[in-house]
Amino acid sequence: MTKLTKEQHQELIQTANRVRANAYAPYSKYSVGAALLTTSGKIFTGVNVENASYPLTMCAERSAVFSAVTSGEREFIAIAVATNNGGTPCGSCRQVLSEFGLDIQVLIVDGNENVVQTTTVRELLPGAFSGGDLPK
């Protein structure tokens, strides 16, 4: 597992909190921002985008992952997830992150940029379903 530098750690936290202002959350009023660091050193961001048809809502974490993948990135070091109260990623986001590595560091941050929890995808999703579970 790649260790975050102090500068990367702070940049992820600040970026996740900054982009959170761009979330589209007219129904829940629960804005989420995510900042995903790749092994190439790039940071991809995402916000939650709600929809009146609730199941069509997209989470910030998945938005950041999909943006990174769209740009050709496949290897991630860490993701910061910022909410007002330091909420953790949902199950769908945990599963999507696990596709790219169980050792991705996850920084859970509140609206004041306090780190509420530092963990990994492995710790958030024990017994993750993976490609190895599919029939050959």
Burial of 91 (0-12, 13-18, 19+ CB in 10 A): exposed
Among this protein's residues, is 61 annotated catalytic? yes
Query: Residues near 113 by Cβ (< 8 Å), separated by ≥ 6?
Result: 13, 14, 17, 82
Nearest to residue 45, comparing CAs of 25, 26, 62? 62
Task: Report, in this order, helix, strand and coil percent for the chain, each rounded to 5.
Answer: 35, 25, 45
Q: In one letter, which amino acid is 110?
A: D
Nearest to residue 30, comparing CAs of 62, 57, 11? 57
> 61, 73, 99, 113: which one is catalytic?
61
The residues annotated as belonging to the active site are 61
